[in-house]
Amino acid sequence: MPDALLLLTAVGLPFVGAIAAGLLPTHARNAAAWMAGGVALVGLALLWAAYSTVAAGGVLRHEIDWMPSVGLNFILRMDGFAWLFAGLISGVGALVILYARYYMSAEDPVPRFFAFLLAFMGSMMGVVLSGNLIQIAFFWELTSLFSFLLIGYWHHLAAARDGARMALTITATGGLCLFAGMLVLGHIVGSYNLDVVLASGDRIRAHPLYLPALILILLGALTKSAQFPFHFWLPHAMAAPTPVSAYLHSATLVKVGIFLMARLWPVMAGTEAWFWIVSSAGIATLLLGAYAAIFQHDLKGLLAYSTISHLGLITLLLGLNSRLAMVAAIFHIINHATFKASLFMAAGIIDHETGTRDIRRLSGLNRFMPFTARLALVAAAAMAGVPLLNGFISKEMFFAEALSAEGPLPPLIDILPVAATVASAFSVAYSLRFIHGAFFGPDPVDLPRKPHEPPSWMRFPVEILVLACIIVGLLPAATVGPYLDMAAHAALGTATPEYSLAVWHGFNRPLLMSLLALTAGVVLYLLLQEYLAKGVEGAPLIRRLDSQRLFERALVFLSWRLARTAEGLLGTRRLQPQLRLVVCVAVLAAGWAALLRWPGPGNLIPAGIDPVLALIWAIGAGCALGAAWQAKFHRLAALILLGGTGLVTCITFVWFSAPDLALTQLLVEVVTTVLLLLGLRWLPKRLDLPGTRAAEVLTRTRRLRDLGIAVAAGAGMAALAFAVMTRVPPELLAEHFLERAYTEGGGTNVVNVILVDFRGFDTLGEITVLGAVALTAYALLRRFRPAPDSVDVPEQQRAQSAYDIAQPERRDGDTVADWLLIPSLIARLLFPIICLVAMFLLLRGHDQPGGGFAAGLTASIAMILQYMLGGTQWVEARLRVLPLRWMGIGLLLAAGTGLGAWAFGRPFLTSYFAYADLPVLGKLPMASALIFDVGVFALVVGATMLTLIALARQSLRGHRASAPRPADPPALPPPVSAPTPPPTPTPAQTTMGDD
């Protein structure tokens, strides 16, 4: 099998499996389990296939160009060490999957569980098989992410959510540090390729950036491997389903930190800094974890602290800067995975069959589940380091290393053997507690379930793992020997030290320490019986050393207090100061730039002043000033004045050769005015409270300041515009488009050709934005609740109504029904004509002023005119506009035209044109851009109508919300409000949409 396929399958297949499992129906428990198990077994088969190469000291490699320009490639590599880890991941993974099939309840969404598990497996494979530092960091973060999902699998439980969040916060933060560390390391070496990095140990250790890189990388590794003081997330992660704990917290997730330290050991270890940080973290974790484990009442909690302690042991071994200690560390990685996974599974079986994991409630299970009890007994003995089991051998190696360690810190070296013995005694005590507490003693009382043996297939994975503990313990050299040799060889580089894997090394000091620890552990457990029986939570002495509380406090401080303080200091919830700041910065920046490099007077002599244009602009400027003056209290007047300015802008466009702009501006002007008119109805009435004298002065000062800013901005803009206009404009793209508009785009209206052809992609983006805006407006209006004082029928309608009631010959509503009767009749007659104009503008757009935008707006105006004059209900009884459908069709047409080019092997949105000679009509342009323009047209119609109709409908909704009250005495009408339909409640649709 080629390396490439093998490696890619090993990493990729779990992810594929995860997606497939995720797509299974919620209760397809067996199918998902079979699929996951199959993936794990394929993984094992791949490793078997790779064994011959790896065992011979070879390395499987596959490299894919990723970003070759910066020397980054996607590299997969498998040497002996990675092989061993991949074996643990797949092997323990397969057993855990089998176990999980029986552990998980039928009510749980099991396929999702297996999907997460497989994805996690793939990420783990990615970490161990990556041959590139960045890639390692990437997969590392993926393992954090998927472990988060797995720990939080029962997301209805608060403990699961909190545990998952804590694990993610700690490990992902560590992951970020690791990423930074990898970048520094890559900078030191000059390459991210792991092979190159592993070959440049001397350079790395001598580099001034060695220490930062080391600290950052170790922050990643130590958080992941739950080392003191980051250990506290691991016990909380026990809220995960037990298969997850058995997998993540024995063989995989927590070992990945160890893996990384071991992987980089040849290049980063061997210095005093390494010794200091790694071994002190290790020894602290070893002792604290073992001590705390004794006092746990939850079986899984006990195992969690025991795991922390064993990880500390491995870390300590790695920190000793000795090759032999490294071999012991790798050996203990394997042993710990086997006995700890089996113990987790046993704890899960107890939980599953009795309904509790609390040691205080459990007892005497030996009589109900004898087989499980014996399996757990052997595994716990391996954990305690009882001779003839695998835990004993690696522990002996650890003792030997503790005795012979050398380092820059003599006191630490001196206490090392003592610490090792003490920790070992603790581990004997907690192992005893696990077994004695759960399986021995009187019959249990008051258990949630009647205990019994689990299904035999659920026990099978435990049997396999315990068998491994025994065989390795009896015949270490014959069983695990070659694999350990291979892994150590690969991890260390070339030189593997002499070591001997044997049960019996004669009567030596490590054996003495073992015996001492065993005796001391038993005595300690007996002495603690009374204390433990009291059932007090937490370990004595260190109860106050609560890193979790510190963590929570830090989180509250960072994410709440600090953030609030910063917001209070730097932010404001008030819009006015923000806008003022933005405008001031813009004015100052522009002014500064102008002062720094004033380009001098322009090179173009301004054309003479045309009195007509001057008059027009006098009106325009007056309108603008008037709008600014009146916008506060006379909204309608301001709106009319705004329209005046718009018209002047429009005339300016016509004057200076931009017919398309003028057309579009005019139409937009109409639609915008209608829009704002519709909005006026919901705004409050004039509010003119008399203020105090001081407030008056303050307001006046504020206005003066704002006036200053406004004048500065206006003057600056005028100067800038004048400076720009009195220069010969740069040609840039203009010539390009003018030359090619007809010859390549097939249209004579250059602006339109640019929009629908040359820059069609921009236009596609623009109409998408338009659609999104309309949908947002629609969504906002669906939840619209008008202010209480705007809910009533408008005053003038009330006055009309009162008039109707007062006249004997009229009925209520007659005036409203007759409202603008003649204009509405004219508007009805105009409807087809305006539609025709819209079509005309659309079709001629490519050659003459017009196009999709203008046509769409025109068609909208035709419809909105009916709404305005006929009333919403009258129109909707006759003409059903389906804006969402218009928008959908428009977008599909425009995007489809673009995609159509692919069918002819052209890039996206390449247009095609020809002139068709039709009878009667003559020669007609037939460009594919026309279809695109039709799409633009449809979208503009849809988006405009969606917003306008949604707004117009609000008046219906408002009246329905509260029944019309008796009319107030006629009052002065407010500035006109949008014509609203009669207030009679009718069963009109409440929502607007296609369905």
Partner 1 sequence: MELILALGIGVLTGSGVWLLLRPRTFQVIIGLSLLSYAVNLFIFSTGGLRTGAAPVLQQGTAGDLSTYADPVPQALVLTAIVIGFATTALFLVLLLAARGLTGTDHVDGREKDR
684-743: which residues touch partner 1 (CB under 8 A)?
684, 689, 691-692, 695, 706-707, 709-711, 713-715, 717-722, 724-726, 728-729, 731-735, 737-743
Single out the residue of 787, 829, 903, 972 in contact with partner 1 (rule: CB under 8 A).
Answer: 787
Position among 191, 665, 797, 955 found at the interface with partner 1 (CB under 8 A): 665
Query: What is the C-alpha to C-alpha distance for residues 236 and 583, in angstroms, rounded to an integer?
Result: 51
Other Cβ atoms less than 10 A from the Cβ of 436: the count is 16
Q: Which is nearer to partner 1, 271 or 790 (CB)?
A: 790
- Contact set for partner 1, span 91-130 (CB under 8 A): none
Stretch that binds partner 1, among 546-554, 680-688, 871-879, 986-994 (CB under 8 A): 680-688
Q: Give the Cα separation of 335 and 337 in Å (integer).
A: 5
Is residue 645 close enough to count as binding partner 1 by CB under 8 A?
Answer: yes
Task: Candidates 73-81, 558-566, 782-790, 801-809: pick the segment binding partner 1 (CB under 8 A).
Answer: 782-790
The answer to the question of residue 644 lying near partner 1 (CB under 8 A) is: no
**Positions 548 through 587 that interact with partner 1 (CB under 8 A):** 573-576, 579-580, 583
Alpha helices in 783-880 (DSSP H): 795-806, 814-817, 821-844, 852-870, 872-878
Question: Contact between 672 and partner 1 (CB under 8 A)?
Answer: yes
Task: Give yes or no for residue 483 binding partner 1 (CB under 8 A).
Answer: no
Tokens of 439: 């399986």
Determine if 763 is a binding residue for partner 1 (CB under 8 A).
yes
**783 lies in the binding site for partner 1 (CB under 8 A):** yes
User: Which residue in 683, 826, 833, 877 binds partner 1 (CB under 8 A)?
Assistant: 683
Considering the complex, state which of residue 243 and residue 850 has its C-beta at the smaller distance from partner 1. Answer: 850
Are the C-beta atoms of 616 and 647 separated by less than 8 Å? Answer: no
Question: Taking CB under 8 A as the criterion, which residues in 930-949 touch partner 1?
Answer: 940, 943, 947
Nearer to partner 1, 174 or 883 (CB): 883
Total residues interacting with partner 1, rule: CB under 8 A: 121
Q: Which two tokens stand for residue 603?
A: 């090179």
Q: Which of 807, 823, 824 is nearest to 815 (CA)?
A: 807
Nearest CB to partner 1, comparing residues 290 and 641: 641
Per CB under 8 A, contacts with partner 1 among 839-878 are: 847-849, 853
| Sign, CA torsion 593/596/600/603 | negative
Is residue 517 a contact residue for partner 1 (CB under 8 A)? Answer: no
- Binding status of residue 784 toward partner 1 by CB under 8 A: yes
- Residue 64 dihedral angles phi and psi, to the nearest 5°: -120, 135
Q: Which residue's CB is nearer to partner 1, number 440 or number 784?
A: 784
Shortest Å, Cβ 987 to partner 1:
24
60: Cβ contacts below 8 Å, ≥ 6 apart? 3, 6, 7, 50, 53, 54, 76, 77, 78, 79
What lies within 8 Å, CB to CB, of 768 at 6+ separation is 891
Q: Give the C-alpha distances (Å, rounded to integers) separating 136 from 9, 143, 175, 488.
A: 17, 10, 10, 20
Q: Which stretch binds partner 1 (CB under 8 A): 82-90, 526-534, 642-650, 870-878?
A: 642-650
Q: Does the footprint of partner 1 cover residue 751 (CB under 8 A)?
A: yes
d(CA 126, CA 143): 9
Q: How far apart are CA 989 and CA 995, in angstroms?
A: 10
Interacting span for partner 1 (CB under 8 A) from 59-67, 127-135, 356-364, 658-666: 658-666
Single-letter code of the amino acid located at 484: L
Does 229 sit behind a cis peptide bond, omega within 30 degrees of 0 on the bond before it?
Answer: yes
Q: Which is nearer to partner 1, 717 or 879 (CB)?
A: 717
Q: Is 81 in the site for partner 1 (CB under 8 A)?
A: no
Half-sphere exposure of 765 (CA within 13 A, CB side): 4
Please say which residue, 287 or 950, places its beta carbon nearer to partner 1. Answer: 950
| 919 lies in the binding site for partner 1 (CB under 8 A) | no
- Footprint of partner 1 on residues 789-828 (CB under 8 A)? 790
If the CB atoms of residues 261 and 943 are measured against partner 1, the closer one turns out to be: 943
Nearer of residues 5 and 625 to partner 1, judged by Cβ: 625
CB of 799 to partner 1, least distance (A): 24
Q: How far is the CB of 723 from partner 1 (least distance, A)?
A: 8
Which one of residues 754, 816, 909, 967 is an interface residue with partner 1 (CB under 8 A)?
A: 754
Q: How far is CA 341 from CA 256, 307, 344, 857, in A?
A: 16, 10, 5, 69
Count of residues making up the chain: 995
192 CB contacts (<8 Å, ≥6 apart)?
Answer: 71, 72, 132, 133, 134, 182, 186
Residue 146 and residue 127 in contact, taking contact as beta carbons nearer than 8 Å: no
Looking at beta carbons only, is 186 or 856 nearer to partner 1?
856
Tokens 């099978």 found at: 460
Asked if 640 is part of the footprint of partner 1 (rule: CB under 8 A), the reply reads no
* Minimum CB distance to partner 1, residue 559 (Å): 25
Nearest approach, Cβ of 993 to partner 1 (angstroms)? 17
Residue closest to 100 by CA, chosen among 341, 295, 337: 341
Residue 786 CB-density burial (10 A; 0-12 exposed, 13-18 middle, 19+ buried) = middle
DSSP E strands, 40-80 = 60-67, 72-78
Among 659, 970, 973, 974, binds partner 1 (CB under 8 A): 659
